[in-house]
Each structure stands twice: as structure tokens, then as C-alpha cells.
Amino acid sequence: MNITDIKKAFPIFTHHPDLIYLDSAATALKPAVVIASEQAYYEQCSTNIARGIYPLAEQTTTAFEESRATVARFIGARTPEEVIFTAGTTASLNLTADLLASRITKEDNIVTTALEHHSNFLPWKELAKRNKAELRIVPVTETGTLHLEALKKLVDNHTKIVAFSATSNVLGTINPVSEIIRIIRSLNKETVIIVDAAQAVGHIPVDVVAWDADFIAFSGHKLFGPTGVGVLFGKQTLLNQLSPVAFGGGMVLDACALETLYKDAPARFEAGTPNIAGIIGLGAAITFIESIGVAEIHAHETKLARYACQALQKAFGDDIRILAAKNPEDQSSIVSFTLTGAHPHDTAQLLGEHNICVRAGLQCAAPLHEALNLSATTRLSFSIYNTEHDIDLLITRLKEIRTIL
């Protein structure tokens, strides 16, 4: 992978040549091809989808549905109809909770984990609270690995939902998704399984058929796509059994006064005008990723994550607590740490003064911080435009910052 050429694909480096962006887990930078595809839509089509029958409208519908097909192919869905466009991972997970709400009674339990981002924790906590069901939380081990023995004890005949993430947004641990799903299905065949793949899609090869999850959620902006667009994959058979929860244009076949006939998925879950430019941009982002290759991206990112772990350990010894995957082969593009004598917020702010962007705080993962007895962490997340030199510069600045603090 030629990083100099890759950087040229991202216009932000023209505006900020010294930028060291280590916050791609928050949102990835945008390549020119993605920005251009959105602009081309606004300049050259600018029409709505699935409504007009004049050529410009049909052109937009075609481009929009091509994006759906691109997403479906990218994640290995059986058909584009399994791809619902949303506003992002958070919207996808909340939509799933709303779609399943009527199935949950006070006899039931919902299982999630201590590893989750708030977006895959709070919707289930709220759903359990509203329906008086029990919320069960799979704990993590002291190294932040999901406790699979505990999972086996928590899933039973009354488990209606299990929701867990493919990759931790704090530790970068890649969970054994297929194995976890096999365990859940062996304990209860009816349980609906939801995977938060926000930090996985675009970083590791994702094959929804191999995973066998019922729902998978992810955001466009974390894979070089525009903000405000995301995906909810759902198994087609399941989707068409569920009633819509948002109502309006584009999702009905007939809406006479007495009876409403809803379209099949995905249209029945996409009421109203969607983020057309964003969805077209997401298609361009996936084409961009495919031009590099997910396996190459994964190899580059994990190489950087491992290098960061070793270099930080070497530089700070016992003063640093590195939070990463226990086994190097489970490591994704994310590494967090705490450094004695340097609060994460001060660290992030002072690094920012040197154009080094990192994330600090609870990282929307309070349950995990609580489980690991941490009040805040600093997170580094790597992407295709980062190099080992970025990490060396970060460490130089961290050493200086410690002398100031």
C-alpha cells in the first residue's frame, strides 16, 4: 500500500498537510471520489427517488439502488432487499429495537454485553425497561474479552434478543462473531441476534451469511462515506414478518382509508425521502475500499495497532496501561491507553495543538470503563492514511506533554 498516493486521495491533507489523524473510529476522513459523487448527484440529477417517471428521476433511482446493490455485495447479503438505509448505526439499532418491541414481554430477557458502545446498549436497556423485561449483561474478563462461559449461562428459553458488537470501539478486539452466534443458536433457536458492526465493516471482511446474524448495523461515515447515512442489514424472511414503525411516503402499496398495504422490505422501513446524496456517496466509498481491498486495509491497520502497542510500552514502561486485544490476531485498528500523570482530556487537547487528533474520555462506552475500573482513556484509531511515523511523532509529543503536566 502506497500511503503517499493514498493520502493524495483525501483532500483534507491538502488543507492540513501536517494533520495526524488518529481518530478514524469516530469518523473516517473522506476521499475525493466520495465528495465528488455527492456533488455530482446535486449538480447533475438532484431529483427524488422511486417517485418521478421522467428520465432524471429514474437516473437517481438507478444510482440509489446501485448503492444498495453495492452494499449488499460488499457484506455478502443474499439480495439487496436485505439492505435498509438509515441515518447510521445508532439509527439502525434503535430501529431494530422498535421493530422488535411488540415481541418482548415481562417474561422475556434481552442480552447485551459490557463491551458495547452506548448505541448498542441504551436501546436494549430502554426496551427492557419499557416492556418490563430483564436486561442481562455479558461481562468482560479483566483483559476486556467477552466472557463466553457467562454468555452460555445468560441465554435461555426466554431470551428474545442478543445484541453484541463485532469489534470493540475501545479495545479494537475483534469478537468471534460466528462462534458467538453458534453458541446463542445452540441455546435458543428463536433468539433474534443483532451485531453492531460499526467498527468492523470496511476493516475486516464481513460476510453476513457466514455470520448468520439476523440484523447487522453500521455507519457510512466510518468507512470513508458521508455522515448521516447507515445500514441495517436484516434477513429477508424476518424483515417481511415485521411491521413498520415509521409511516409515510414510499413505503405503501395502497393507503385507502380502511386498510394500508405496506411494501415489502426494504421499502416498508424507509418512509419518506432518504439521504439520497449520502447513500450514493456510500456506494462510492465502498467502491473506493474495494479498489484497495479490505484484507490489505486490515493488514495495514493491525500492523499499526501492534506497532503502537509495542512502541508505547517501550516508551512508557510501567507508566502506561495499554488497552487492546488480548491476542494480537484479534486486534483491529483501535488501541486505547491510560498514562500516569496525564489525564486523557489534557492529553488529547495538548496533542490537538500539534495537529494530532485522538479521542479521549469514556468513548461512549461507560459500562466497559466501569468494568475495567477506568474513569477515562485515550484512544488511537488507525486507517489507511496513517504510518508508523505518525505513531513515533505521537510518542514524542506524549513525552513532552508529560513533562508539562
Ligand X SMILES: Cc1ncc(COP(=O)(O)O)c(C=O)c1O
Residue 199 makes contact with ligand X by CB under 6 A: yes
Q: Which is nearer to ligand X, 7 or 222 (CB)?
A: 222
Distance CA 59, CA 52 (A): 10
Closest-CA residue to 30 (of 21, 42, 40): 21
Tell me the pairing of strands 134-138 and 159-165: unpaired
Residue 169 makes contact with ligand X by CB under 6 A: yes
Q: Which of residues 259-298 bind ligand X (CB under 6 A)?
A: none
Residue 94 makes contact with ligand X by CB under 6 A: no
368, 372, 374, 376 alpha-carbon torsion, rounded to 10°: -40
Q: Which range of residues in 76-84, 145-153, 192-200, 288-296 is near ligand X by CB under 6 A?
A: 192-200
- Give bridge partners of residue 212 from the DSSP assignment: none
Q: Which is nearer to ligand X, 191 or 219 (CB)?
A: 219
Residue 228 makes contact with ligand X by CB under 6 A: no
Residue 175 makes contact with ligand X by CB under 6 A: no
Residue 196 makes contact with ligand X by CB under 6 A: yes
Residue 225 makes contact with ligand X by CB under 6 A: no
Q: Which is nearer to ligand X, 196 or 301 (CB)?
A: 196
- Using CB under 6 A as the binding criterion, the count of chain residues that bind ligand X stands at 13
- The site string for ligand X over 336-375 (x = CB under 6 A, - otherwise) reads ----------------------------------------
Residue 90 makes contact with ligand X by CB under 6 A: yes
Residue 334 makes contact with ligand X by CB under 6 A: no
Residue 96 makes contact with ligand X by CB under 6 A: no
Q: Who's near 236: CB < 8 A, 6+ residues apart? A: 78, 79, 81, 82, 265
Q: Which range of residues in 125-133, 193-201, 315-323, 342-350 is near ligand X by CB under 6 A?
A: 193-201
Q: Which is nearer to ligand X, 324 or 401 (CB)?
A: 324
- The site string for ligand X over 37-76 (x = CB under 6 A, - otherwise) reads ----------------------------------------
Q: Which range of residues in 82-90, 102-110, 298-306, 396-404 is near ligand X by CB under 6 A?
A: 82-90
Lookup: cell for 315: 516508551
Closest-CA residue to 6 (of 46, 33, 44): 33
Q: Which is nearer to ligand X, 120 or 347 (CB)?
A: 120
Q: Position 43: which residue type? A: E
Radius of gyration of the chain (CA): 22
Q: Is 45 a catalytic residue?
A: no
> Which residue blocks in 331-376 are alpha helix, DSSP H?
344-352, 366-371
Residue 119 makes contact with ligand X by CB under 6 A: yes
261 touches 268 (CB < 8 A): no
Closest separation in Å from C-beta 377 to ligand X: 14
Q: Which one of residues 177, 198, 339, 350 is an interface residue with ligand X (CB under 6 A)?
A: 198
Closest separation in Å from C-beta 2 to ligand X: 28
Q: In the 8-state DSSP scheme, what is residue 304?
A: H
Lookup: cell for 143: 483483559
Lookup: cell for 330: 484479534
Helix (H), strand (E) at residue 359: strand 359-361
- Give bridge partners of residue 186 from the DSSP assignment: none
How many C-beta atoms surround the C-beta of residue 114 within 10 A? Answer: 21
Q: Which is nearer to ligand X, 203 or 397 (CB)?
A: 203
How many C-beta atoms surround the C-beta of residue 246 within 10 A? Answer: 12
Helix (H/G/I), strand (E/B), else coil: 70: helix
Q: Which is nearer to ligand X, 61 or 119 (CB)?
A: 119
Q: Which range of residues in 46-54, 72-80, 88-96, 172-180 is near ligand X by CB under 6 A?
A: 88-96
Q: In the 8-state DSSP scheme, what is residue 82?
A: G
Q: In the 8-state DSSP scheme, what is residue 264?
A: P
Q: Which is nearer to ligand X, 169 or 302 (CB)?
A: 169
Closest separation in Å from C-beta 88 to ligand X: 3
Tell me the pairing of strands 20-21 and 356-357: parallel
Residue 24 makes contact with ligand X by CB under 6 A: no
DSSP output for 204-259: B---HHHHT-SEEEEESGGGT--TT-EEEEE-HHHHTTSPPSS-STTSEEEE-SS-
Write out the residues near ligand X by the rule CB under 6 A: 25, 88-90, 117, 119-120, 165, 169, 196, 198-199, 219
Residues annotated as catalytic are 364
